[in-house]
Structure 1
Amino acid sequence: MRPTSDRPPLLSAERDATGPAGRAAAHPRPGRRAFLVGALAAAGARAVGAARRPAAAVAAGAAPATMPAPTVVVAASSFPTVAQALAAVPPGGTLLVDRSEAIASPLIVDRSMTVLFAPTVRLTATAHITMIDVHASDVRVVDAALVGAGTSRAASGKGVVATGTATAPLERLSIEDCTFTGLSHSAVVATSVVGLEVVGCRVDDVGYAGVVLVSCTDAVVRGCTVADVRQPAGFVNSYGIAVTRDETKSLVDSPRSARVTIDGNTVRGVRLWEGIDTHAGQQIVIRDNTVSGCSVGIAVVPCQNDATPQEYVYAPVDVVVARNHVERGDSPGTGSGIVVKGAGSTVASGAERASAVVEDNVVVGMGGGDREAGVLLYLTRDVVVRGNLLSGCVGRGVCLYHSNDATMLVGNRVEGVVLAAGATVAAAVEVRSSANTATLVGNSYAPGSHLPGSAASVRGVAVPGSGNVLDLLRNDWTATVLPVWGRSSTITRFADGA
């Protein structure tokens, strides 16, 4: 991942125009409202099996140049229950959920179809169930409003679950503009899905997570809002959006999630754990998101293996974290803004190292723990941290904990570091332990008199550990009390400002 120019190219996960986002841009689907008008018109006749004209033709009153295949629309109001209506939908058809209902068992989608909810209609679970359970490719869930049985305890209530396998993945699943609330586990859980789109969804008041992708590839989570992930007793962690694999299985049976883009989302109120996460993801792009009120903002971390469940074996690789805004907000306690961590645990571990670009992010008020910071790295290789603004972070702006090889810190601005509890001095950049090699170019520190609690005593680069090798070039530490402080490490300064 080491750049060959001053700004490395985007990774393939970000530039791949053949993935779901690229295909959507090249072939925009008809507007959902036009589709709804057409579906309602067809369903109004209550003629199950009648062909619906294309949505664009219904809306415009003229046939399009290319006629897609006719779609059979089945209205839930024509049947005693929505489950019975679902059973009547042929492959490729549409279930129009046009009546609110309470359900006690999952709706099983085992063939290609669209599940479309009419305005103001909702389904309410009377137990902690999976509400829509997808076992087929080419499925769309549009405008669904799903209400769970509550989040007072850890349970298995989920909104939409889609499950494939490594050898038989599902393909082309789209979950659009849906709302989820009161689910005791998660809103969306997708396992082994290729070409997943979760777009414009709103999640509020869930127990474990908003959106979870397990061994998914060529996927996008875009424009969603996840708020108030409770993590009640019984859950040891929680997430806004997570891209991961099943650690209890082998890498063959549960491979890495890969080529996933998470962008333009808002995550707030994961107060006890992580806003956005990838465990051992490959070519994951996390960009243009707003994360607030979370213990940790964005976590790019390793995962375990079934054969060695107590060891971190697989690192996240080729990850981009760019243009996100991460802020402490109302989350209690401490936690880093952005974490990049590889596999292993010991200093200089030979396990797989994490690789990433962390660029143009704004991190406000994060850090506070023993090694926590605005940006925290350990067990990494060739990570580039560039152009970030770290404002009002607690203890340190950037922390290189241990075992970071060939790290580049370029053009980052740290302002107004706040003293951690019990500390007498803070640092713009801290090299905490050992076995770090890094180059720092054009970074700077500015006082934060406008920020509450800003420390008066801030060092530019603090190196309390030993066995580190650092090259410093043209950084600006003028506003610090001591530009560079260290012991038992090799620190070379080239035209490095005071």
Structure 2
Amino acid sequence: MSTEERTPPSRRAFLMATTGALATGALAVTVAATWNDSKHMSLQSVVDAARAGDTVEISRGWLIGTPVVVNKALTIRCVRGGSVTTTKDVHAFDVMASSVRFEQVALRGVAESRGDKQAAIRVTGTLKAPIKGLRILRCIIVGFAKNGIEAHHVHSPLIEANTIERAAYGGIMIFSGKGGRIAGNTIRNVTMRTLKNAYGIALTRMYNQPLAQAPHTSGTIVTGNLVDGVPGWEGIDTHAGRDISILNNTVRNCRVGIAVVPGRNPAGVYVYAPTGIRVIGNTIDSTVTDGSRRPGIQVIGATSSTGKVNQYASAEVASNTVTGHGTQNTGNQSGIHIEATRQTTVRSNKLISCSPNGIHAYHSNEGLVIEKNTFTDTWSQNQDFAACVYISGTAQSLTVRENKAIRGKKKAKLVNERGLFVRAEAKRPGTTVTASGNSFTACVKPIVDASKSQKLT
């Protein structure tokens, strides 16, 4: 429990009720006055009546067809079964002020299958006037047509211990955020529906705006969350984030578990890479055994359509457990995929039943270190190889050391077929691999250097 949660606000409290379709009763102010409910027939009117620093308590069910605009510092909480349900494809709350706090608010969207605009809580700051002091704690958000929580230009938000289910696009979406903590949330069943992508948690920017107007999200900690069920796309994502920490999360049943990937400029070109990213201590399980998912973790820099690197990614990928990821009938798939990086380390990860490769170093990785990882049952049913460490492309300098293969109980055409595999294409131009201290004796072919040009032991 955070310090924020333990410290109750010393603010006035409003008790809300309505004579509307789902709510009856009286509205009272616990301090200076008693409000007549006939003057407050809408949730918006109660929020408007409150003063900055007040607490608004929702004690009944509300049906709303337009967003509730919050333009002052308030604490909003549900008590005694209170809730807010939207009747149209609209946001439930539209926040335009700093120091707004949501506690135990129950939100339900009815446009889950018939819209693409709706967020339960949308927070909108600007570059010159970012939103500060946002707190969203222990809320329950179900069935919104786009996002659960969507925040633009927020500094140091705390989004903690919320449950978000059946969002159609994103569970928690941060655009041009700075700092803050996303912790202990449960996000399930992000459906994607007719939208092209879907995310459990995403830290990104609006790519159709110049970088000067929409900077990279930076310095955010994402820790202790459960993301379960984004089978069409990505569990946790950053597009060109800066100094993001993704720590000790559980990601299940997602097409890609954790995606550390580039971002585009307004012309649609990938020119911004994610840098300074830490992906540590996460548990990522595809929940399938047929090799139909994509990588559990991918770190990719910004490259052009011709393969030219516009900006290198950098990351530390350590102490994660990845199970059942990689598309087994595609040779360049893997549990962990690394591409166009500089000074990136992949260390002490456990890769279990990944296919057809455990770790794939694709191309343009400078100073990549792959060390002390364990690989259990790297497999393929359709490929002619299955490698623990696969180095396939050009322009790379890598150190591969002290990794280990383990034979488990997986049954397939190929299991642990190769330990370290350097493809022939890696010899042109400029790929160098130094390998030492690896234990690939559990593999049929411990080392295969098709390039015939590397220092491998």
Please report the TM-score for the alignment, with normalisation by the length of structure 2. 0.91
Within the candidate set 258, 275, 279, 2:218 is matched to 258
How far the C-alpha of 1:228 sits from its partner, in A, is 0.5
- What is the rounded CA distance, in whole Å, between the counterparts of 1:395 and 1:74 in structure 2? 67
Q: How do 1:140-155 residues align onto structure 2 when only pairs under 5 Å count?
A: 140-155=101-116
Aligned to 1:295, the other structure's residue is in SS state strand
Greater Cα shift, 422-431 or 313-322: 422-431
Match of 1:318 among 273, 276, 284: 276
- Within 2, Cα distance between the matches of 1:75 and 1:364? 59
How far apart, CA to CA, are the structure 2 residues paired with 1:194 and 1:73?
Answer: 36
Choose from 330, 352, 355 the match for 2:314. 355
Counterpart of 1:181 (choices 135, 139, 142) is 142
Q: Which moved more, 1:359-368 or 1:153-162?
A: 153-162
Which among 28, 43, 48 is matched to residue 29 of structure 2? 48
- 2:375 is aligned with 1:399: no
Q: AA paired with 1:486? A: D
Residue identity matched to 1:492: K
Matches within 5 A, 1:19-38: 27-30=3-6
Cα distance between partner residues in 2 of 1:74 and 1:446: 70
Partners of 1:247 and 1:329 in 2: how far apart? 32
Any gaps of 5 or more consecutive residues in structure 1?
1-23, 52-71
Distance, in Å, in 2 between the alignment partners of 1:174 and 1:331 is: 39
Listed as ranges, the matches of 1:99-498 within 5 Å are: 99-233=60-194, 235-306=195-266, 308-309=267-268, 311-330=269-288, 333-345=292-304, 349-368=308-327, 369-419=330-380, 421-449=381-409, 451-453=410-412, 455-456=414-415, 458-464=417-423, 465-467=425-427, 468-488=431-451, 490-493=453-456, 496=457
2:233–2:255 CA contact under 8 A, matched in 1 = yes
Unmatched runs of 5 consecutive residues or more in structure 2: 18-24
Three-state SS of the structure 2 residue aligned to 1:294 is strand
In the TM superposition, residue 154 of structure 1 has moved relative to its aligned partner by: 4.6
After TM superposition, the structure 1 stretch with the greater mean CA deviation from structure 2, 123-132 or 463-472, is 463-472
Q: Distance in 1 between matches of 2:146 and 2:201?
A: 13
Task: Sort the Cα spacing of 1:81 and 1:40 in 2 relative to 1 into closer, same or farther, 3 A.
Answer: closer
Distance 2:305 2:452 in 1: 19
Could you say which residue in structure 2 is the equivalent of 1:11? none
Partner residue of 2:22?
A: none
Structure 1 position 157, deviation (Å) = 1.5
Q: Determine if contact 1:417/1:448 at 8 Å carries over to the other structure.
A: no
Which amino acid counterpart does residue 215 of structure 2 have in structure 1? P
In 1: Cα distance, 2:36 partner to 2:167 partner: 29
CA distance 1:404–1:198, change in 2 (3 Å): same
**Aligned-pair RMSD on alpha carbons?**
2.6
Counterparts of 2:104 and 2:214, CA distance in 1: 30
Change (3 A) 1:270 1:130: same
Query: Larger deviation: 473-482 or 278-287?
Result: 473-482
Residues 239 and 277 of structure 1 are in contact (CA less than 8 Å); yes or no, is this contact kept in structure 2? yes
- Shift of residue 486, structure 1, vs aligned partner: 2.1
Q: Is the 8 Å Cα contact of residues 469 and 489 (structure 1) preserved in structure 2?
A: no
- Structure 2 distance, partners of 1:454, 1:135, is 57
Q: Partners in 1 of 2:112 and 2:89 — Cα distance?
A: 10
What is aligned with 2:44? 83
Q: CA deviation at 1:371?
A: 1.6
> 2 CA distance for matches of 1:114 and 1:422?
57
Find the aligned partners of 1:133 and 1:430 in 2 and give their Cα distance. Answer: 48
DSSP 3-state at the match of 1:86? helix
Aligned residues: 443
Q: Distance in 2 between matches of 1:140 and 1:268?
A: 26
| Residue 452 (structure 1) shift | 4.6
Counterpart Cα distance in 1 of 2:159 and 2:35: 24
Aligned mates of 1:134, 1:110 — CA distance in 2: 6
Shift in CA distance, 380/40, structure 1 to aligned 2, threshold 3 Å: same
- Contact (CA 8 Å) 2:256, 2:296: kept in 1 or not? yes
Provide the rounded CA distance (Å) in 2 between the counterparts of 1:238 and 1:75: 44
TM-score by length of 1: 0.84
Distance in 2 of aligned mates of 1:216 and 1:340: 21
Distance 1:215 1:258 in 2: 8
| Corresponding letter in the other structure for 2:163 | R
- Asked if structure 2 preserves the Cα contact closer than 8 Å seen for 1:395 and 1:417, the reply is yes
1:435 maps to amino acid: A
Kept after mapping to 2: 8 A contact 1:271/1:295:
yes
Distance (Å, rounded) in 2 between the aligned partners of 1:404 and 1:77: 67
Following superposition, the deviation at residue 31 of structure 1 comes to 5.6
Partner amino acid, structure 2, of 1:187? G
